[in-house]
Structure 1
């Protein structure tokens, strides 16, 4: 996967060097929005970048929230645009979680240990890759670059 990403970066770098900084930033913003949308859809489908399903929650959890509704989907608020921030400059695109949500996302991304409550014991969370490139994402980046560069 990293070889494909490096090859895409090398190929696109030469083409993007010819663009003005303002135009590169505008292109980066559109690519970042498309990436965020695809990441949100993948998180909603509860799939890792390789296409496998997330490890399900433990069955004995209380799924009722404060108002009595049942929470059925993991990361439903985490995938919102207010938590999944994007930044684009003429030279880079950054897509990630910020502040407190970044800590929660990191625990699930890498399968770390965390304490779910203040006095709760440590829990080992299974690895659920929230962010990552799929082959479709790389194709989407390449297609949007070509679409922008070819008049």
Structure 2
């Protein structure tokens, strides 16, 4: 997907360079807000940016019985409290904040980590892309950019 972003950047670079810094920052902030909302909706739906579902959790055994996990994955880290945006004239970023960033990184890339602090062993978590950009996001960014340019022309 980075090739698509690179092509989009080349396409809009000349147009956006004509805007002043304050206007580009406002555009970047609007894009970041929309991307954060798009990624939050995907996390709620338990879907990766390419449309495939997340690998489901392993079932837990509680006192010899099969336990059912009632809460969806990533219900707390997808809140606005932890999913932050930053924007300036040259970039727009959606990222996780604080300790949540480590949890998200383990799931984003499918790394090895402990289940909890007291666990003596580490497990390999399946790759679940929490943040990403798909074709619909690119179309949304294009619409935001065109609307912003039309407003400032």
Aligned residue for 2:39?
39
Gaps of at least 5 residues in structure 1 are 63-69
TM-superposition CA deviations, 1:82-130 (whole Å, max 9, x none): 1011000111111111220000000000000101222312111000000
What are the residue-to-residue correspondences of 1:2-151 with 2, within 5 Å? 2-60=2-60, 71-120=70-119, 121-151=121-151
Gaps of at least 5 residues in structure 2 are 63-68
TM-superposition CA deviations, 1:45-93 (whole Å, max 9, x none): 011111000000001256xxxxxxx642000111111101100011111
Give the TM-score normalised by structure 2: 0.90
Give the TM-score normalised by structure 1: 0.91
**Greater per-residue strand proportion:** 2
Runs of 4 or more off by more than 3 Å in structure 1? none
Aligned residue for 1:65?
none
> C-alpha distance in 1, partners of 2:61/2:103?
18
After superposition, the Cα gap between the structure-2 partners of 1:10 and 1:61, relative to the gap in structure 1 and judged at 3 Å, is: farther
Report how many aligned residue pairs link the two structures: 144
